[in-house]
Amino acid sequence: MMNIKRKYKKEIKLLTDACRRLGELGYVTSSGGNLSIRVEDNLILITPTKTPKRFMTVDDICAIDLEGNTVYAPEGKKPTGETPFHARIMRMRPDVKTIVHAHPPVITGFAVAHSDILAKAILPEPIIEVGPMLNVKYATPLSDELSENFDSVITKSNAFLMENHGCLLCSFTDVMNTVEQMQMMEAMAQSVVVAKILGNVELLSDKHIGELEDVIKVRNLKIPGYEQNSLHDIY
């Protein structure tokens, strides 16, 4: 099992750095939040349970397979209790390389309000890089029900608002970039709060959305979600 630590030293370091960054940003408190990276078709590096992200070290990281079985855990550590939704999403989304689940305070406010406004066409960069933030119904943390609640939306975007809980982003990019994307979504949520105070949230038109699809093609990016053909199908 030490093989995993040696073979994926770089990825383990990256995952640890991403945990600390999430802690610095204030998107996770205490031992909240969890992250994973797919390193082989059937091997996923994942954060341990009961370990504050700010103090994560390379010696804490665990590994699971696609069924959620523990492949490796350092002594005294266990993979996050949210392993079921990480494994399920990795199974349903073979394109996904990283998953980041956290509780950014402003996004979580929208999750408490059961608002669906973050799924609308608000700002160009989140549309191009992440996709609509789709609501996932509340279920008790760590439950199979919570992971099953992702099923109806998981192919339609890369961002999910977990009602009365927080959010989850999945990505085909590296984990630090996924944290950056979460920062972009939290900034958008803050801007929506300001727009609501000012009294008006104007959305982009279908024509503008079509033009953003052209940008995605020019920049050689993918339409958010899994095997989606057009932004018009998801916005």
Tell me which residues touch Zn ion (CB under 5 A): 166
Q: Looking at beta carbons only, is 132 or 166 nearer to Zn ion? A: 166
Q: Considering the complex, what minimum distance in angstroms separates the CB of residue 104 from Zn ion? A: 11
Q: Looking at beta carbons only, is 28 or 62 nearer to Zn ion? A: 28
Q: Considering the complex, what minimum distance in angstroms separates the CB of residue 114 from Zn ion? A: 17
Q: Considering the complex, what minimum distance in angstroms separates the CB of residue 167 from Zn ion? A: 9
Token reading at 3 = 């093989």
Q: What is the DSSP code (8-state) at residue 79?
A: B
Q: Looking at beta carbons only, is 131 or 166 nearer to Zn ion? A: 166
Helices vs. strands in the chain: H and E counts, helices first: 8, 8
CA atoms within 13 A on the CB side of 88: 18
Q: Looking at beta carbons only, is 139 or 223 nearer to Zn ion? A: 139
Q: Considering the complex, what minimum distance in angstroms separates the CB of residue 89 from Zn ion? A: 14
Q: Considering the complex, what minimum distance in angstroms separates the CB of residue 108 from Zn ion? A: 9
DSSP SS3 for 12: helix
Q: Looking at beta carbons only, is 15 or 102 nearer to Zn ion? A: 102
Q: How far is CA 73 from CA 4, 60, 61, 78, in A?
A: 11, 8, 7, 6
Task: Give the dihedral sign, CA 101/105/108/110.
Answer: negative
Q: Which residues contact 5 (CB under 8 A, 6 or more apart)?
A: 12, 58, 72
Q: How far apart are CA 194 and CA 71, in angstroms?
A: 46
Q: Considering the complex, what minimum distance in angstroms separates the CB of residue 206 from Zn ion? A: 35
Q: Looking at beta carbons only, is 166 or 225 nearer to Zn ion? A: 166
DSSP SS3 for 156: coil
Q: Considering the complex, what minimum distance in angstroms separates the CB of residue 132 from Zn ion? A: 20
Q: Looking at beta carbons only, is 33 or 132 nearer to Zn ion? A: 33
Q: Give the CB-nearest residue to Zn ion.
A: 166
CA atoms within 13 A on the CB side of 206: 2
Classify residue 56 by burial, with Cβ atoms within 10 Å: 0-12, 13-18, 19+. buried
